[in-house]
Amino acid sequence: MSDVRLIVGIDLGTTNSECFVYSTTTNTPELQYLNGSLTGMYPSVILYDQKAEKFIVGQEAKDNEGAKVWREMKIDLGKGEAKKVTIGSQTLNPITFSTIILKYIYEGLQQAYNDPIIETLVITVPADFKDAERQATLKAAHDAGFEPENEIRLINEPTAAALAYGEKLNEAQTLVSFDLGGGTFDVTFLEYDNIDGVRFYQALKTDGLILGGRDFDRKIIDYLYEGYLATDEGKAYKKDVPFKESFYLSAKNLAERIKINLSKTESVSGTDIIKVNGNRIILEYNITRDQFEKMIEGLVDRTIQMTKKVIGEEEVGCILMVGGSTRVPLIKKKIEEAFPNIPRVDDNPDLIVALGACIQASIISNKKESFLNEILTNPLGISVSGDFVKHMLYEGTPIPYEIEERFYRADDGDEVSAFLVQGKDILLESRNNQILGEIVLTGMKNTEAGAPVDIKIRVDNSGMVEVTASEVEEDGAKFFNNFKIGSTMRVQAQNYADLRAQAFEKYKDKTLQDLTAIADEIIEKIEAREEKVPSDHWLLEKLQSGRYGNLEEFKVIVYRADLKTDLY
């Protein structure tokens, strides 16, 4: 190991990833050109080389036109095993996908700096990411090999952009970061202040959508596909679903190139060959910027409406354009139309997020005196009275934060349970809500309805959530049941131990295969229910993903699910 110390910032993007390292020699963050990259932008694309038995990552994978590749899996981070994709002999899920991308950067740094010591690592995530997606990002970073001395911190992409832009500002002002990347859109309203050279950033409001450049690419692919079907050669494929699927994968790079060219010129025409299901097909196209703008106008309008909502009646000093997709001329035009009096800053939109991540890492490593206060982007609450959510922490709450509230149990019995929910809706089953986990208190001493239970939610600097529930006894003492939310159900509780013991006893001789069969039966029961509630979806997800994890935890999940489905 060399004694080089690195302070690292990474933008783990849907389309591209970038890395900056704070250099103690120059006291500035420097873009990294790792693994021979000429641009410092690593396409988030992975290919498996059967012969060499290894994964190929980045530009080399992207350039392999026609080959099946894994890409854009960041969109599904947090959704677990359900979103795995198999190509040939290999299967990746969103976490292993992100792990491979981060490992590519990690190994690049190892090589470039000869086994350095990593002090701090900051990775950016879309502001709208909920706990499960944040946990998944963190897991991917650990699995990739990152074990920094200080910590791995996650910060929101738009906040990172503001942090980088703020380096150039002296006067206090309000900023809006309009961040449209490859797969996600985030808009954040922030306050900036500079007091005697010490910078303060306070995020105030934020919102986001799953929408980005890949949706623009798709519109162009639709156009190419329809165009091809209208040719003599293409007619035969009208109802051929495998053809369509293969076409959409193969035309992706071409569509992106056309889109990027349309940012520079008024029209793009040409002839290209793509490989569809092993056959070469010839595509002729002629597409004008005007046509393209009509295709994407509805999508762009959604981003403008959301920005208006976030700005509300506030005075804004400037709008910071972030993310590669803000290079699309229609976006600039629409922003100018909607906010004619607010100056717009287009400041290196592809790299500014990674730069901001590195600045935040240097603040954590005490190389810089600035303060960044983030906010919770998605409210948190627990399920009450069946299918409703009682919010305990609202969006806009500064983080880290901790809150405790007292609840009163509705029914008699020695067990109470509630779901921890993230999302804005009051109805538990709303598709905007995500169940992060189940809080369970078993073996309660006070078994009567009306008995008080205290629930505490803590959100850390990275926006990740931890919950503690405790029974309140007559003398005010608390009987704790700790439950840490994670990508797997990690339960460390004194009285929850009973449930675990019962699960281990019931399934003591069961192998993974036996349990998988039981899990499948339970899944069938749940799926047969006509009206599913989110707890069903949550159980289904756990029963699917649990089987790939630890056998003991899987036993507990199956046991809980079995108890629940017995009630159906």
At 51, list the tokens. Answer: 């012969």
Interacting span for ligand AMP (CB under 6 A) from 22-30, 92-100, 319-327, 364-372: 319-327
Amino acid type, 362: S
Q: How far apart are CA 434 and CA 203, in angstroms?
A: 23
Q: Which stretch binds ligand AMP (CB under 6 A): 255-263, 282-290, 424-432, 544-552?
A: 255-263
DSSP 259: H
Q: Pick from 16, 124, 307, 470: which binds ligand AMP (CB under 6 A)?
A: 16
Q: Does 56 help bind ligand AMP (rule: CB under 6 A)?
A: no
400 CB-near residues (< 8 Å, 6+ apart): 458, 459, 460, 461
CB of 17 to ligand AMP, least distance (A): 8
Residue keyed to tokens 């001493």: 445
State in angstroms the smallest separation of the CB of 290 from ligand AMP.
16
Point out which span in 133-141, 252-260, 490-498, 508-516 binds ligand AMP (CB under 6 A).
252-260
Q: Check residue 31 for interaction with ligand AMP (CB under 6 A).
A: no
Q: How far is CA 30 from the centre of its chain?
A: 25
Return the range that interacts with ligand AMP (CB under 6 A); candidates 13-21, 81-89, 98-106, 370-378.
13-21
Counting contacts by CB under 6 A, is residue 182 touching ligand AMP? yes
CB of 199 to ligand AMP, least distance (A): 24
Residue 350 within binding range of ligand AMP, rule CB under 6 A:
yes
9 interacts with ligand AMP by CB under 6 A: no
Q: Which of 9, 166, 324, 486 binds ligand AMP (CB under 6 A)?
A: 324
Is the Cβ–Cβ distance between 455 and 471 less than 8 Å?
Answer: no
CB of 423 to ligand AMP, least distance (A): 24
Of residues 405, 526, 400, 530, the one with CA closest to residue 456: 405
DSSP state letters, 260-306: HHHTTSSEEEEEEEEEETTEEEEEEEEEEHHHHHHHHHHHHHHHHHH
Residue nearest ligand AMP by beta-carbon distance? 213
Q: Measured between alpha carbons, how far is 483 from 440 in angstroms, rounded to an integer?
A: 8
Residues 189-228 that bind ligand AMP (CB under 6 A): 212-214
Half-sphere exposure of 532 (CA within 13 A, CB side): 15
Among 72, 186, 256, 471, binds ligand AMP (CB under 6 A): 256
Among 325, 365, 468, 565, binds ligand AMP (CB under 6 A): 325
Per-residue H/E/C for 432-496:
CCEEEEEEEECCCCCCCCCCEEEEEEEECCCCCEEEEEEEECCCCCEEEEEEECCCCCEEECCCH
Does 379 engage in binding with ligand AMP (CB under 6 A)? no
Q: How far is the CB of 327 from ligand AMP (least distance, A)?
A: 4
CB of 362 to ligand AMP, least distance (A): 22
Count CA atoms closer than 13 A to 261's CA, side-chain side: 15
The β-bridge relationship of strands 45-49 and 42-43 is: unpaired
How many residues belong to the site for ligand AMP (CB under 6 A)?
19
Does 177 interact with ligand AMP (rule: CB under 6 A)? no
Contact positions vs ligand AMP (CB under 6 A): 13-16, 181-182, 212-214, 256, 259-260, 263, 323-325, 327-328, 350
